[in-house]
Chains A and B, each alone.
Chain A
Amino acid sequence: EVQLVESGGGLVQPGGSLTLTCGASGFTVNSNYMNWVRQAPGKGLEWVSILHGGGDKFYADSVKGRFTISRDNSKNTMYLQMNSLRVEDTAVYYCARGGLDGMDVWGQGTTVTVSS
């Protein structure tokens, strides 16, 4: 079964760090485009970052320089390292597989709360 499972969310103080994990099954992350998308409470969807199969990485302006996307091929897992967290980074974070045919597989989401 093709599946994504996120973990690593939690409560962190402003300025703190957190690393989110997205484990894949049924396909390999290094052969696909992999995304992070977030949704602040009561708000719409916001694309955060993408990691191409070939290794190229792109970020939303709002997280550039603070967040880093990466993967571990041996674990078939993708990560989002988040530094210098701000209150406005509070959201449910989803990982999603997707490239030219849209984001077709999504995880269940993990909640990040940035608060003092």
Chain B
Amino acid sequence: DIQMTQSPSTLSASVGDGVTITCRASQTVSGWLAWYQQKPGKAPKLLIYRASSLKSGVPSRFSGSGSGTEFTLTISSLQPDDFATYYCQQYNSYPFTFGGGTKVDIK
């Protein structure tokens, strides 16, 4: 199985800060990587697919990059609505796997 490792596990930041979350795969997933945002008690929401494609309707302050085994999610300027937990997920091969999550909270 492909292991997905996210870092950091927790990130404290302020409104307006730029933040970057890293996701590393134990073997190549090519570009088959997605990023999700989840708020407490809610279902996850897709932000980025195919590593760098922004889902329609998602603010442009979110961006994804990377290929192979190393990926990043960047939020250019944190907004109050962005404080949440973020997960990466590979869908290159079965079983699909998620990273452990990165909680972005208010500094």
Chain A residues with CB under 8 Å of chain B are 35, 37, 44-47, 50, 58-61, 94, 96, 98-104, 106-109
Contact = CB atoms under 8 A, between A and B. Distances in A.
B94 A50 contact: yes
Nearest to A64: B95
Contacts of A35: 96
Contact of A45 (B32, B49, B98): B98
Interface residues of B, number: 25
Interface of B: 1, 32, 34, 36, 38, 43-46, 48-50, 53, 55, 87, 89, 91, 94-101
Contacts, number: 65
Given A61-B1, A104-B55, A47 B46 contact: no
A109 B43 contact: yes
Main SS of the interface on chain A?
strand
Given A94-B44, A101-B53, 4 more contacts: A35-B96, A44-B87, A47-B97, A103-B34
Contacts of A104: 46, 49, 55
Contacts of A45: 36, 38, 44, 87, 89, 98, 101
A25 B62 CA distance: 29
B46 A102 contact: yes
A61 B46 CA distance: 25
B43 A102 contact: no
A47 B1 contact: no
